[in-house]
């Protein structure tokens, strides 16, 4: 992180939201049992992101190196995966213990719910997920000299790109891991998808 962070101005806020789905060849109970045992698949499926278990259903994720407008950052966040309530899974960011100021704050919220599919040939469950991500960044002084609309649009495009790529990769890896674990064939590409949300919905914590 650069040392010339400006503390006189408020941080710039960027927000991104996506929703998507993935289909798994299994009944809802089998899928729920797999998702509940996230200690066995979360770190494995999150690769190539560096992910470390913090215990108590919590993980530290180093997302990678990203940059725009000559400014680079390696964001990381800690998250907690809650046990499902009323068939709704909640995941959200939490403070990173003993972490020095990073120049940014991440507010990440996501949900998953299971929906049984009516298939003639096999049992299947659709996992429907939503995520809402808000990032506040304290930019170096040289970024403040740029027009606000350029910084805002560039930051939002970069954030959308990161979230979309990570979501697609994680969805594919979880789908692949589930079917490999259960010795089942991998569903077709049409069995998973991601779309951007134009209107952000509040996800409870």
Query: How do residues 93-149 score in pLDDT, each as one tens digit?
Result: 999 887 777 778 899 999 999 999 987 678 999 999 999 999 888 877 777 777 878
Question: For the residues of 54-85, what is the DSSP string, one character each?
Answer: EETTEEEEE---EEETTEEE--EEEEEEPPPB
* Average pLDDT, integer, range 16-43: 94
pLDDT of residue 177: 97
Q: Are 89 and 113 in contact (CB under 8 A)?
A: yes
Q: How many CA atoms lie within 13 A of 27 on its CB side?
A: 1
- Boundaries of domain holding 46: 12-196
The CATH number covering residue 18 comes to: 3.30.530.20
Mean of the per-residue pLDDT values of the chain:
84
Flag whether 202 is in a domain: no
Q: How far apart are CA 89 and CA 9, in angstroms?
A: 37
Flag whether 154 is in a domain: yes
Query: How do residues 144-179 score in pLDDT, each as one tens digit?
Result: 777 878 878 887 888 888 888 889 999 999 999 999
* Average pLDDT, integer, range 11-16: 87
Q: How far apart are CA 70 and CA 67, in angstroms?
A: 7
Flag whether 3 is in a domain: no
Share of the chain above pLDDT 70, in %: 85
Flag whether 100 is in a domain: yes
pLDDT of residue 200: 44
φ/ψ of residue 74, rounded to 5: -120, 85
| SS3 call for 196 | strand
Flag whether 6 is in a domain: no
Q: Are 154 and 5 in contact (CB under 8 A)?
A: no
Flag whether 106 is in a domain: yes
Q: What pTM does this model have?
A: 0.83
Flag whether 54 is in a domain: yes
| SS3 call for 93 | strand
E strands, the chain, where? 12-24, 50-55, 58-62, 66-68, 71-73, 76-81, 88-94, 104-117, 124-137, 192-196
Flag whether 161 is in a domain: yes
Lowest-confidence segment of 9-13, 18-22, 66-70, 162-166 by average pLDDT: 66-70
Is pLDDT at 180 greater than 80 in this prediction?
Answer: yes
| Range with the largest mean pLDDT of 3-12, 138-147, 186-195 | 186-195
Q: How many domains does the chain have?
A: 1
């Amino acid at each position: 992180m650069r040392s010339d962070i400006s503390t006189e101005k408020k941080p710039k806020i960027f927000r991104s939201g996506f929703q998507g789905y993935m289909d798994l060849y299994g009944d809802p109970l089998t899928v729920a049992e797999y998702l509940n045992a996230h200690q066995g698949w979360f770190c494995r499926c999150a690769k190539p992101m560096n992910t470390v278990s913090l215990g108590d259903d919590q993980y530290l994720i180093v997302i990678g190196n990203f940059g725009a407008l000559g400014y680079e950052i390696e964001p990381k966040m800690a998250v907690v995966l809650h046990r499902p309530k009323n068939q709704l899974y909640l995941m959200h960011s939490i403070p990173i213990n003993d972490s020095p100021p990073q120049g940014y704050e991440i507010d990440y919220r996501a949900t998953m719910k299971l929906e049984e599919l009516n298939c003639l040939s096999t049992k299947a469950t659709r996992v429907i997920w939503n995520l809402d991500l808000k990032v506040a960044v304290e930019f170096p002084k040289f970024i403040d000299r740029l027009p606000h609309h350029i910084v805002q649009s560039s930051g939002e495009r970069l954030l959308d790109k990161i979230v979309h790529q990570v979501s697609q990769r994680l969805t594919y890896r979880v789908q692949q891991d589930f079917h490999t674990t259960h010795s089942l064939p991998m569903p077709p590409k049409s069995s998973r998808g991601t779309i951007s949300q134009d209107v952000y919905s509040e996800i409870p914590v």
